[in-house]
Amino acid sequence: MHKVLIIIGDAAETVDTLYPFYRLQESGFTPVVAAPEKRRYQMVLHEVKPGWTITKEWEGYTIEADIAFADINPAEYLGIYFSGGRAPEYIREDEDLLRITRHFFEANKPIASLCHGVEIPARAGCVEGRRMATVAKCKFDLEVCGGIFVDKACVIDGNLISGRTYHDVGHFIGPWIDLLIKAREAIR
């Protein structure tokens, strides 16, 4: 089994986080939940309710982080996933997370990003010239850092797979898992 990082913090979106977590297990990978500290984190549910123009947030499940960013040697991991929700906005300044993020882009390893997850590779300086999907309200974050916004459920740009919101997980997680399988086979 090969390890894959899932990046979270408090207020990571529940569906954004749990769907890839279980899909990784189904595909024979070991998902490793990584966060600022090794502890339990509160996830949230996001939805734009009918008649609303902003996102409504409810508490979701909690999840235990397996490892703190500071303790991660990214060379030990096959791929990385940036979950959405509000967490990326708060954790994107973590120097260890930025170090880890840059490793995956520089090593051309399989990367997936959903919704607000784009804020982390954008802050790490890794999106210039890259085509990505993200939630519309993060389009600015992507473009101001040199990325190219694409409004589709699944955007594939080399080793980088992205989607807009949790509504897209069924469209982009499969292609990302396929990249991870190819990467796993290449090192056997």
Q: How many domains does the chain fold into?
A: 1
Q: What's the pLDDT at 169?
A: 95
DSSP string covering 43-70: EEEEE--TT-SS-EEEEEEEEE-SEEGG
Average pLDDT over residues 80-86: 97
CATH number of the domain to which 100 belongs: 3.40.50.880
Q: Which member of 46, 103, 116, 167 is catalytic?
A: 116
Q: Above 70 in pLDDT, residue 115?
A: yes
Q: What are the pLDDT digits (tens) for 49-58?
A: 888 877 778 8
- pLDDT exceeds cutoff 90 at 64: yes
**Domain containing residue 151:** 2-186
E strand or H helix at 17, and its extent? helix 14-26
Residue 116 falls in the annotated catalytic set:
yes
